[in-house]
Amino acid sequence: MKQDKLRIAVIGVGHLGEYHVQKYQAISNVELVGVVDANHDRGSEIARRYGVKAYSNHEQILDRVDAVSLAVPTEMHFEVAKDILAKGVHLLIEKPITYELEPADTMVKMARERGLVFQVGLIERFNPAVEKMASLLNQPVFLESHRMNEFTIRGIDVDVVLDLMIHDLDIILHNVAADIREVHAVGMSVITGKTDIANARIVFEDGTVANLTASRVSSKTLRKIRVFQPDAYLSVNCLRREISIIGLGIEVDDLNDFPSLTPDKIKFPGRDPLADEISSFVDAVVNRSEPVVSGEDGRRALEVALGIIRQIESGSKGFQAI
């Protein structure tokens, strides 16, 4: 570290990478050394906007930093990440970790062997409503997620399972301890030539069932998770960062002799999950601690996502215009 500050760069400063730049600049113990982008004009524009130096190649900066955020397109993740890890630089890599398991395994191994922090940018783990949900889970029997987007060209380098559903896969895999018994999945292409709508039903060995739906061709944006468990019904609105909890009260309804239901809603105004994610990465690097979302977490979510994709492709259908 230089003058007690963590030296950091952002590699890939497109739409999401620029947000990483903003968050790092707001952290007092971070020195943003520079930004890297293969698009010279974009890199120079972001460098001017935030008062840092621009580089066109990641190799130019790795000897000058302690850690980096990697926000390049997914197909470039492995080629760039292996150079970063080989240099002994801590890494926050955007989701999905890669397209394939073998390079993901290589990255996880490289980070472990070198004692590096390797965090995957599955940002919903830092959503305060999701964090609260995790603290309230008690033997859930059914979890359901809906993650819907209106269509944009961002993220279409991967299908909707790796673009959107992977967030909910990570949340569910993190919170259900049992192994997966079986997966059933369906989906179809609508616009991109890749799967744009997908549904997966996951049955765990302990009997827990999870049902996940993702679409990037919806008429509105939706981010919801619902949980059925013996002591409560939980409904999480990830967009509004709030959670509704319905549980059994102590009192009995005199009219029908049934236990009363007690609703509660908790809101988390002012929280910024991306800022929390990046701050958590910085803390993990400074303290040499395990990141909240590890490379192994990203790898496991990828493994299940790829299984879902294979199942969808085996029975894939295209959307037909009318």
pLDDT digits (tens, 9 = 90+) for 56-71: 999 999 999 999 999 9
pLDDT digits (tens, 9 = 90+) for 81-111: 999 999 999 999 999 999 999 999 999 999 9
pLDDT digits (tens, 9 = 90+) for 163-217: 999 999 999 999 999 999 999 999 998 988 889 999 999 999 999 999 999 999 9
Q: Which residues contact 318 (CB under 8 A, 6 or more apart)?
A: 188, 189
What's the order of all strands across the beta sheet hosting 6-11? 53-55, 30-36, 6-11, 67-70, 90-94, 118-121
Least Cα distance to 198 among 210, 208, 186, 190 occurs for: 186
Predicted confidence band of residue 1 (pLDDT cuts 50, 70, 90): very low
| Coil vs helix vs strand at 225 | strand
What are the DSSP calls for 256-322, one per residue?
T-PEEEEEEEEE-TT--HHHHHHHHHHHHHHHT---SSBHHHHHHHHHHHHHHHHHHHHT-EE----
Domain range annotation of the chain = 6-123+274-292, 125-271+304-318
**317 or 134, higher pLDDT:** 134
Fold topology of 6-123+274-292: Rossmann fold (3.40.50)
CB 205 within 8 A of CB 178: yes
Q: What is the mean pLDDT of the chain?
A: 93
Domains 6-123+274-292 and 125-271+304-318 in one fold:
no
What are the DSSP calls for 64-127, one per residue?
G-SEEEE-S-GGGHHHHHHHHHHTT-EEEEESSS-SSHHHHHHHHHHHHHHT--EEEE-GGGG-
Q: Which is the CATH superfamily of the domain at 125-271+304-318?
A: Dihydrodipicolinate Reductase; domain 2 (3.30.360.10)
Residue 2 has pLDDT above 50, yes or no: no
What's the order of all strands across the beta sheet hosting 259-267? 259-267, 242-252, 232-237, 222-229, 142-148, 209-215, 197-204, 180-189, 317-318
Report the distance separating Cα 67 and Cα 53, nearest Å. 16
**pLDDT of the residue at 237:** 97
The structure's pTM equals: 0.91
